[in-house]
Amino acid sequence: MSNESWPLYEVFVRGKRGLNHVHVGSLHAADDAMALTHARDLYTRRNEGVSIWVVRSEHIAASTRDEKDPFFAPSADKVYRHPTFYDIPDDVPHI
């Protein structure tokens, strides 16, 4: 049985204008052009998208395991990045 498979692609779809592309899943295709047409047939059969990105899965660099990972620690102790950190009197308008 021929077991040589096409590379895996990750698929990202922009649902409508004004939205980001969102990861929707993956598929196998021989090349980029085929990955795009397969992605259209598989992930946008009901007008779910106005734009598609496909990228070879092996080309994605990812952070390590889960959210508790120390990789994200630098953002956890910077409460001053959030607007609620600042005390503004209630009678100051529009802030």
Partner 1 sequence: MTTTHHAEASPPESPESPETLQEHFDATIARDQRIEPRDWMPDGYRKTLVRQIAQHAHSEIIGMQPEGEWISRAPSLRRKAILFAKVQDEAGHGLYLYSAAETLGADRADLTDRLIEGRQKYSSIFNYPTLSFADVGVIGWFVDGAAICNQVPLCRSSYGPYARAMVRICKEESFHQRQGYELLMTMMRGTDAQREMVQDAVDRWWWPSLMMFGPPDDASPNSAQSMAWKIKRHSNDELRQRFVDMTVPQADKLGVTLPDPELKWNAERGRHDFGTPDWDELMRVIKGDGPCNDQRMERRRSAHEEGAWVREAATAHAAKRARKEPAA
Q: How far is the CB of 4 from partner 1 (least distance, A)?
A: 7
Using alpha carbons, list the distances in angstroms from residue 40 to 8, 13, 60, 91.
Answer: 16, 9, 21, 53
Q: Three-class SS of residue 59? A: helix
Q: Which is nearer to partner 1, 76 or 79 (CB)?
A: 76
Among 17, 68, 81, 82, binds partner 1 (CB under 8 A): 68
Task: Please give the full DSSP string across 34-48, using - where no structure is assigned.
Answer: HHHHHHHHHH-TTS-
Residues ≥6 apart with Cβ < 8 Å to 31 = none
Check binding of 27 to partner 1 (CB under 8 A): yes
Name the residue type at position 71.
F
Check binding of 6 to partner 1 (CB under 8 A): yes
Check binding of 13 to partner 1 (CB under 8 A): no
Applying CB under 8 A, the residues found at the interface with partner 1 are 1-8, 10, 24-28, 30-31, 34, 42, 45-46, 57-58, 60, 62, 64-66, 68
